[in-house]
Amino acid sequence: MRDLGAEPPPSEQQSTGRLFSDVGAWRAILLAGLAVTLAFVVTALPIMVSGRNPLLAYWALLRGAVGSVDAVAFAFNKSTPYVLSAVGVAICFRARVINIGSEGQLAVGGVAASWIALHLSQLPSLLLIPVSLVAGGVAGAVWACIAAVMRIKRGVHEVLGTLMLNFVGTLVVSEVLHGTMGEPGAGFPQSPLFPQSAWLPSLFPGTDMHVGIAIAVAAVVATHILFWHTPFGFRLRLLGSGDNVAAYAGASLVRGMLQVMLIAGGLAGIAGAIEVLGVHYRLIEGFSQGFGFNAVAIALLAALNPLAVLPAGLFFGFLEAGALAMQREIGVPSSLVFVIQGLTMIFVLCAMGVGFKQQRI
């Protein structure tokens, strides 16, 4: 008996496509580039309507992003927390755990790191910085686990849990800044400046670019390896495929959810620590704003592929860095960059949905 072999994949079965399919990574990159270009073209319309020249605006954007060494350093710094939180969110989504709590996890991570930096300042830099980062990670992990435990014990959906904990986390920051960690006499809720020993060293001396990006890259690579090459990652992929098959293969939903939330929370917490130790050099109110949802957006843009989170996160970071320059020089509001980000996402998702083979799970 001869089977006709490959049954053609019925077209009604396509869901999310895959950005880097076997057919061609080049084709995927081309489509991503096309999506970005289209987003810029469409955003040019409101710029023109407001009476400004979009080409000049984009030129300012470009220069703001990569025009000088300082600009590039600034952009990398901006990208770091995005990449870190997004890669955690990506593997959560892969395991069908909808974690949108990066903001809260980042916030408490910053609090923990600040506490260490302020209270253990007698430690030498070589110890102080790693300990602060670890503290941030632990705090973020614990924060994420609260939502996970609520889901496991009480059935509170993690979307709700993580979302609410975002607000709580941000308020925790405000609370400590108005209390124990606040700088007396400052006009703005902020902590005292950290001792220099706590500041993140820069990756390239003479620039503002701190080591955070190196940590982010390491996290991306580690997550990729963890996801594809370990039994732990295999289990996550099973959890993401469905309850039935996960149970059949012996993958525990409870353990999987806890583990993946720990990782995502930890990464977001480290991102928060990096923000306070490397960018602001203190804890300031509202430093965690906006990171949560952007993390989700970047993770989706990367088609939940850990490695692809790096370029996606860099894209977002560089865009935002350039947007501030665009606002300064041309007067185009920097919030327009959110339009570009959103449109890029939509177009990339459209490109992924059209005609690609099913994403490899």
Partner 1 sequence: MLEMRGICKRYGTVQANRNIDLTVPQGRILGLLGENGSGKTTLMKVLFGMVAADAGTIIFKGRPLTDHRPGDAIAAGIGMIHQHFMLVDAMTVAENVMLGWKRAGLWLHTREISQLIRNASKTYGLDLDPNAVVGDLSLGQRQRVEVVKAILRGADLLILDEPTSNLSPPEVAGLFLVMRRLRNEGRSVIFISHKLGEVLEICEEVVVLRDGEVTGQCLAANATRSDLARMMVGRDISALVQRPAFESRKEILSVDRLTLRDRSGFERLRDITFSLNEGEILAIAGVDGNGQAELVDVIAGLKSATSGRISLAGQEITSEDVRARLTAGIAYIPADRATTSLVPGMTIEDNLGLRDFDRPPLRRGAWLNRVAFRREANSRIAKFGILCAGPNALVQTLSGGNQQKIVVAREIGRRPSVLIAFQPTWGLDPGATRFVIDEVLSLCHGGGAVLYVSSELEEVLTLGDRIGVMFNGRLSRVFGRGEVDMTRMGLMMAGHDEGPDREDGGKS
Told to check if 126 binds partner 1 by CB under 8 A, we report no
Judged by CB under 8 A, which stretch of 3-11, 127-135, 155-163, 327-335 contacts partner 1?
3-11
Q: Find the farthest-apart pair of alpha carbons in the chain and give their distance in angstroms, rounded.
A: 86
Q: Locate all alpha helices (DSSP H) within 9-101, ordered by sequence.
A: 25-49, 54-66, 69-94
Q: Which is nearer to partner 1, 328 or 360 (CB)?
A: 360
CB of 55 or CB of 361, closer to partner 1: 361
**Among all chains, which residue has been given the structure tokens 């930890």?**
266
Nearer to partner 1, 178 or 357 (CB): 357
Two tokens at 51? 């009476």
**Count of positions on this chain that bind partner 1 (CB under 8 A):** 33
For the bound state, the minimum distance from the C-beta of residue 245 to partner 1, rounded and expressed in Å, comes to: 6
Cα 152 vs. chain centroid, distance in angstroms?
25
127 is a site residue for partner 1 (CB under 8 A): no
- Asked whether position 358 contacts partner 1 by CB under 8 A, the answer is yes
The nearer residue to partner 1, 155 or 205, going by C-beta atoms, is 155
Minimum Å distance from CB 10 to partner 1? 8
Closer by beta carbon to partner 1, 138 or else 236 = 236
Q: Which residues, numbered 224-243, are part of the site for partner 1 (CB under 8 A)?
A: 229-235, 237-238, 241-242
Q: What burial letters (b/e) apply to 16-50, b meaning 16+ CB within 10 Å?
A: ebbbbbeeeeeebeebbeebbebbbeebbeebeee
Amino acid at 4: L
- C-alpha 140, offset from chain centre: 14
Is residue 307 a contact residue for partner 1 (CB under 8 A)?
no
Q: Are 87 and 312 in contact (CB under 8 A)?
A: no
Task: Report whether 137 contacts 109 (CB < 8 A).
Answer: yes
- Provide the binding-site residues for partner 1, judged by CB under 8 A: 1-9, 12-13, 229-235, 237-238, 241-242, 244-245, 247-250, 357-361
